[in-house]
Amino acid sequence: MRPKKKEPDELKDLAAESGAVASGDEGSAKVKQRGVWKRFFHTMKVAHLPYGWLALFVVLTILEGFIIVKLPQINGNFFAGDVSPKSIAMFIGIELFSTVITTGMLFVNHTIRYRTNRNLRNVLWGKILKLKPSYFDKVTANTLISRITDDSDAINEFVMDIVIEGATQIYYLAITIAAMSAVSIKAGLMLLAFTPVSVLIAFISGRLSLKFENSAKFSMANMTEYLSELISCLPLLKAFNMQAYEARRGKKVSDDYFKANAKLTALDFGKNIVGTLFGILPEIVIILIGIKMLKESTVDAAGWYAFYLYAGTFIGFVGTLGGIWTRSKSIQGKLSKVSDILYEENEELGEYVEGIIADGDVMFDKVTFAYEEEPVLKDASFTIPGKQVTAIIGYSGFGKTTSAKLLERIYEPDEGRILMGGKDIKDCGIAQWREGIAYVMQDTPLLSGTIRDNLLYGLRREVTEEEINEAVKLVNLDKFIAESPEGLDREVGQFGESLSGGQRQKIAIASAILTGSPILILDEPTASLDIISTSEIVNTVKSLKGKRTVFMITHDREAVKAADHVIVAEEDRTFVEGDNNKVSLLSGFYNMLMKGGEAA
């Protein structure tokens, strides 16, 4: 299906927006290799973070710090036997206040995450829609879905779990150290001696966790890729009796994922044991220090108990900081994947020029194009006569579909020009040029919805019932629609699965006719269709003679015979062209095809 057609003003806005972003992309190559912090700030800027909510979260964090300092003091008083009404009232008040603050922080945290996710996903989707078509040759749909649905959470994790959480833990550490020093500076310094050990343990376990987590993610990705491919091909699998073989393959990918997670479980078990052992040591020291201070009367029971609680909190904060470092390494990967998309160069749609180049012949003038190193087209020259039906045939991989994509300007030639009416089509903005072309792909998938929805998808003008009926009649779909109880409102199912291949193709061609585009590209419109459907589509193509410039990639003999002009992509990468009689004298491939041979 073609994208929604734009009105002229919208095309101007789209071209201007593309130009603005493209100018900003000039420095993207320099920015792309920058560090994680610059990537973070760039992504944060485009994600439109809810700074008001972030400020509120910081305020709540400061208030929670007050609770962290105050609560051990009140508990210390209880430990020393102070159960006066004032102490009880303070305890209840602090607990209630703590509940309010904690609940508030939870609410604000979720609000920040949801808003940021929404904003960044909108930005990513908008960016993907503006990328060059060549980008999608190297990135799969599943990968892009993962970037939008999963990796987009990287900015949230970086802001909330790394930056805010890290700053919060440092703040909590500072106020906890101050509170401990108020009880005993000497005891506080002794406790600080355990900090390097705790950080080292967190560092080592973090590195191992990152390694094992990446292994588990890789195994999960392999399993997901395997299942997504095989489930869609189950009928083929059964046709070749490959159930036993695929069962073994499935077991292997499942076992790999199990083993990766088993390593993570073993690591967690080991971390728990080591953490417990090293957590006991500081507590023993604190107790011994407390006994000494109590004997020397340098601190009372309430003060020692408060210090004990502070010390436990301090050790927990140190361990949390180590965990933050681990998470930061994991998040960097996600953040890089998201920022890579944001730094990709946009498709330059060009300036809007009044009027669309609509008349005249299309001429490929010494066009060279390569997807990688080996050219698909090299010095290709041929003509597509205006308002005639042109069929292009030839060996597979010799530039037929590539020619159509160059005409659609999905790609631009590496060398040479494409002219229409003697004018270089590069002089016309891409968005404006594509308005004049309707492209019907081979085995065009339909969108979920009704037949009417698919016929009108991409049209912004009002279309009358008479126009719709004329289009469906032109493609010989009128009888099928008339016999259906729902008529045009019949549901087609996902990808049009409730219809036959011929019916889907007819709907796609009818939709292209309704666009009114002067150029119609048909990519193998009769492939895999029965004789009756093929004949009906060929008749439809014939009816467009004198009305549209039709460029048809085909290897169907009847479709080739129906063409006014034939272009043959020969094995030596040259092109032979002319009417059927002329080409039959010049091309061995043409004669092989018309005598019933298969395209190589």
| Secondary structure, 3-state, 200-229 | HHHHHHHHHHHHHHHHHHHHHHHHHHHHHH
| Secondary structure, 3-state, 109-120 | HHHHHHHHHHHH
Residues near 249 by beta carbon (within 8 Å), at least 6 away in sequence:
226
> What is the per-residue pLDDT for 322?
64
Phi, psi of 51 (to 5 degrees): -65, -30
**Amino acid symbol at 215:** S
In the chain the first and final C-alpha atoms are separated, in Å, by 29
pLDDT confidence tier of residue 311, bands split at 50, 70 and 90: confident
- How high does pLDDT run on average in the chain? 79
Query: Per-residue pLDDT for 521 more than 50?
Result: yes
Q: How far apart are CA 193 and CA 211, in angstroms?
A: 29
> What is the per-residue pLDDT for 484?
81
Between 236 and 322, the higher pLDDT residue: 236
3-class state of residue 457 by DSSP:
coil
Q: How far apart are CA 58 and CA 35, in angstroms?
A: 26
Query: Per-residue pLDDT for 339 more than 70?
Result: yes
Between 593 and 162, the higher pLDDT residue: 593
**% residues pLDDT > 90 (the chain):** 10
Query: Per-residue pLDDT for 365 more than 50?
Result: yes
> What is the per-residue pLDDT for 381?
92
Query: Per-residue pLDDT for 432 more than 90?
Result: no
pLDDT tens profile 97-148: 888 999 999 999 999 988 888 888 888 898 888 888 778 877 877 778 888 8
pLDDT confidence tier of residue 324, bands split at 50, 70 and 90: confident
> What is the per-residue pLDDT for 27?
40
The mean per-residue pLDDT over the stretch 511-535 comes to 83
Burial class (CB in 10 A: 0-12, 13-18, 19+), 345: middle
pTM (2 d.p.): 0.65
| Cβ–Cβ under 8 Å, residues 150 and 331 | no
Q: Can you count the helices (H) and strands (E) in the chain?
A: 24, 10
> What is the per-residue pLDDT for 351?
56
pLDDT tens profile 32-82: 444 566 777 777 788 788 889 989 998 998 888 878 777 777 777 766 677
pLDDT tens profile 70-85: 777 777 776 667 777 8
Q: How far apart are CA 52 and CA 436, in angstroms?
A: 47
Q: How far apart are CA 519 and CA 552, in angstroms?
A: 11
Tokens 């020969």 identify what position?
A: 570
Angle at 146 between CA 35 and CA 126, to 5 degrees: 75
Between 354 and 302, the higher pLDDT residue: 302
